[in-house]
Amino acid sequence: MTDNTHLRYEPEERPPHALAAAMGAQIVAMILTGIMITPLVVSRSAGLDAGESSWLVFGALVAAGLSTWLQVSRIGIVGSGYVLFVGSNAAFISVAVAALQNGGPSLLATLVALSALSTFLFTAKLPALRRILTPAVGGTVLMLMALSVAPIAWGMMKRVPAAFEGTVTVPLVVLTTILLIVLISLFGSGAMRLWAPLMGVLGGSAVAGFAGMVDLAPVAAAPWVGLPGGSWPGMALDFQPEFWMLLPAFVLISLVGGIETYADSISVQRTSRRREAPIDFKAVQGAINADGVGSFIAGVIGTVPNTVYSSSVAVVELTGVASRRVGWWGGFFLILLAFCPKIAAVVAAMPGPVAGAFVMMIIVLLFGHGVRLVNEDGLGFEVGLAVCLGFWVGFGFQEKALFNELLPSWAQLFLGNSTTAGGLTAILLMAIISLRQRSRDRLAVPLAVGSIGQVRELIQRFSQRLGWDRQAEDRLMLAAEEAMLFLMEGQVGKDGRLGRGQPGQLLVRLRKVDEDAEIEYVSAPAGTNAETALAAIASAGSPDPEADLSLRLLRGMAKEVKHLQYHGTDYLLVRVDSTG
């Protein structure tokens, strides 16, 4: 990774308010269509009236603005501290429609709010779950979500006034919308591609309007400033069977949203700093937690969940402006637009074929993103088995082809959603694979000098079992010792002890990775990041060879060092080559 020398403003820096407001408005213009179309499609598919639909759109904008503010903040364990814009999550379309059809807006509100809290459990266990809730599992669920939303998109395309049914106008509108999005995405410049969805919607709507398919009377009648036509739906706290049947699907999609935000928050860190720096995993946890709080707010308001929009990362990269001030202005504009019924009326006037074509392109991108996630860490036999079996089990249950009729009624609804059935299958298989690959070379000791002897014995047994020679064993031994000393030095001020006089605990794991050995230390927070310290030594070139001796030896012995610092826990991974 190279330094971002083109970056004009880092997150903490403050550009002029006029520049920040202009950039915030530009990003809002790019994402506004997606934020408003998702609740519109959900409400139309579920057969809600105009007032209920208006409330869904209003709530989505307010929740998006508040959630964007949460992301640019850093309040305890919530917020990334980076410019990450938030909007309605199209992945929830199918399950949101099911919730509305089975229990109405109040059931949707309850499911959204309570499932959002699962993200806190996810981030609290993020280090431990990283081998189970992998990108491959997230990709499988994303592909299944796209599969479940597809029938809704196709139905929207055919939802037209009776006079247009069976006419060539409908496919022409759909084709215009899709072609514009595809062609601008393929042949447009980097900046122009960000506008492709909006340009496709405008082009398709223009064709529909020319054919007389668009009714602009509600737009003309809507005021510029005002409240939505509907009212707060309340929350269904009686927890009927429909709630328990749909909750797993909502939780699964929330967790996949967390995996996506995980990737986006890493990307925004890489593009928002002029100098290369290790990833701050506390900020990653904060971003996922902000997603959870944002969706909880959306649920309490009574609208669809939201998630981070990756386009905000692309805008930072293109413009070189990563200041939080842009996010503050953008969130303000989103909330302001919520109180503009004229804007909501414009989106509500969008013809069904345009909305359906837009959603189809979104699910195409979701499916593609799922494929990329599946292949992110390589698709070996075991992971491939979990992914493919999960996908086809989900598809089979959704198509009612896997003996659904033999199941109890509650299980038919529970497993009838492809996301739930396929996602749980993939997670179960990944858990089995993780247990099978669990390291048998592990040790829990106090984080103290006296524990080094026990770690040496563990390394000796590990090296002998692998048939390593004495030189390779010595390299691994030395790297392990210096890494332990670094962690102990990070406890300075605590006298090597944590809590009520108890020694800080250290969990040691050894694994064979290809032809290398990886030693993993799990400990309390060490303070300084080892990767940052190693980079500082490499660039400083201190003439004193005894300064930071442990780090210098670690740098010489290790092939790779990664220091993942989460809230409350550090993971220090040291990889050593058997061949030197």
Q: How far is CA 514 from CA 65, 435, 466, 510, 579, in A?
A: 46, 19, 12, 13, 12
- Average pLDDT, stretch 292-306? 96
Residue 545's pLDDT is 55
In the predicted model, is pLDDT for residue 82 greater than 90? yes
Measured at the CA of 370, the angle between CA 112 and CA 94, to 5 degrees, comes to: 35
Is pLDDT above 80 for 299?
yes
- Band of pLDDT at residue 282, cut at 50, 70 and 90: very high
- Average pLDDT score over residue span 287-309: 96
In angstroms, how far is the first alpha carbon of the chain from the final one? 25
Count the helices and strands in the chain (H runs, E runs).
Answer: 23, 9
Q: Which domains does the chain have, with CATH numbers?
A: 17-157+166-435 (no CATH), 441-577 (3.30.565.10)
Instruction: Tell me the mean pLDDT in the region 232-251.
Output: 92
Question: What average pLDDT score do residues 498-516 get?
Answer: 75
Which of 538, 416, 423, 557 is CA-nearest to residue 485? Answer: 557
The yes-or-no verdict on residue 386 having pLDDT over 70 is yes
Is pLDDT larger for residue 542 or for residue 476? 476
pLDDT for 527 equals: 79
What pLDDT does residue 437 have?
62
What is the pTM for the complete model shown?
A: 0.85
User: Mean pLDDT across the stretch 187-208?
Assistant: 88
Please, which pLDDT band fits residue 501 given cuts at 50, 70 and 90? very low
pLDDT at 247: 93
- In this prediction, residue 112 has a pLDDT band, given cuts at 50, 70 and 90, of very high
Per-residue tokens: 514? 């290809």
Mean of pLDDT values over 237-245: 91
Of the two residues 409 and 46, the one the predictor is more confident about is 46
pLDDT number for residue 500: 41
> What does the pLDDT read at residue 233?
94
Lowest mean pLDDT among 48-57, 314-323, 353-362: 314-323
140 by DSSP, 3-state: which?
A: helix
Q: Residue 335: pLDDT above 50?
A: yes
Of 295, 250, 237, residue with least CA distance to 414? 250
Per-residue confidence (pLDDT) for residue 255, from 0 to 100: 86
Query: How large is the average pLDDT for residues 410-433?
Result: 83
Spatial distance between the Cα atoms of 77 and 119, rounded to a whole number of angstroms: 12
pLDDT level of residue 553 (50, 70, 90 thresholds): confident
pLDDT at residue 547 in the model: 55
DSSP per-residue codes, 153-211: HHHHHT---GGGTTSTHHHHHHHHHHHHHHHHHHHS-HHHHTTHHHHHHHHHHHHHHHT
Q: What is the mean pLDDT of the chain?
A: 88
Overall residue count recorded for the chain in this entry: 580
Nearby residues of 95 by Cβ (< 8 Å), 6 or more positions away: 111, 148, 246, 249, 250, 253, 417, 419
Residue 548 has pLDDT above 90, yes or no: no
